[in-house]
Chain A
Amino acid sequence: EPEVTQTPSHQVTQMGQEVILRCVPISNHLYFYWYRQILGQKVEFLVSFYNNEISEKSEIFDDQFSVERPDGSNFTLKIRSTKLEDSAMYFCASSESLAPSTDTQYFGPGTRLTVL
């Protein structure tokens, strides 16, 4: 069964450093998402991406964040200058379309980011 993959599974970084989290969405999916989950808290939407541009973003997704689809398979989230409060699990998700029955978002296994 096709699945979303993410690398790395764990990333430890120093405050102020840049990190890039990588995702490979399901191959026939057209809509891509990033969510984050701070330990013990709920899953929060960051950004959605379609047709090589951002469709929607939350208040969390400020100028320190950016997304890119550098090639036909990868989808990346970059945090330019990490802060302690960026420590969280970051989930990538993808969906086939927005039509009923094909708009389910499937999540990758996540990248645990720890900022020291």
Chain B
Amino acid sequence: GQNIDQPTEMTATEGAIVQINCTYQTSGFNGLFWYQQHAGEAPTFLSYNVLDGLEEKGRFSSFLSRSKGYSYLLLKELQMKDSASYLCAVRRSGAGSYQLTFGKGTKLSVIP
């Protein structure tokens, strides 16, 4: 089976940097995805890691360590509109396996 853990809630100040951690346990691994989800809306793709290291995309960066089963999403220069839930999702390896398994999400509140 798979288990994905991330903090339930975080609060950060506008203009600051915040790091959202995700740990996972899976029988096989074929990529980790971060999505942003505003309340009542669809998940929106942010980033993707399949190899170890840092992927940078504007104000958002994501890091992966496969040996540690660990990823983080880094948000810089926080804006009020970044208040949302951030979902960590893992794709398993194996023929015919396409599904994403999601964590419960981290609700980020950005305050002035």
Contacts and interface: CB of A to CB of B under 8 A. Distances in A.
Given A91-B43, A108-B42, A44 B98 contact: no
A105 B91 CA distance: 11
B76 interface: no
Contact of A43 (B40, B41, B91, B102): B102
Contact of A56 (B35, B42, B97): B97
A2 B16 CA distance: 32
B99 A109 contact: no
Q: Chain B: interface secondary structure?
A: loop
A58 B31 contact: no
10 contacts: A33-B98, A42-B105, A43-B89, A48-B99, A55-B98, A100-B50, A103-B31, A104-B33, A107-B45, A110-B41
Interface of A: 31, 33, 35, 41-45, 48, 50, 55-56, 58, 89, 91, 95, 98, 100-101, 103-110
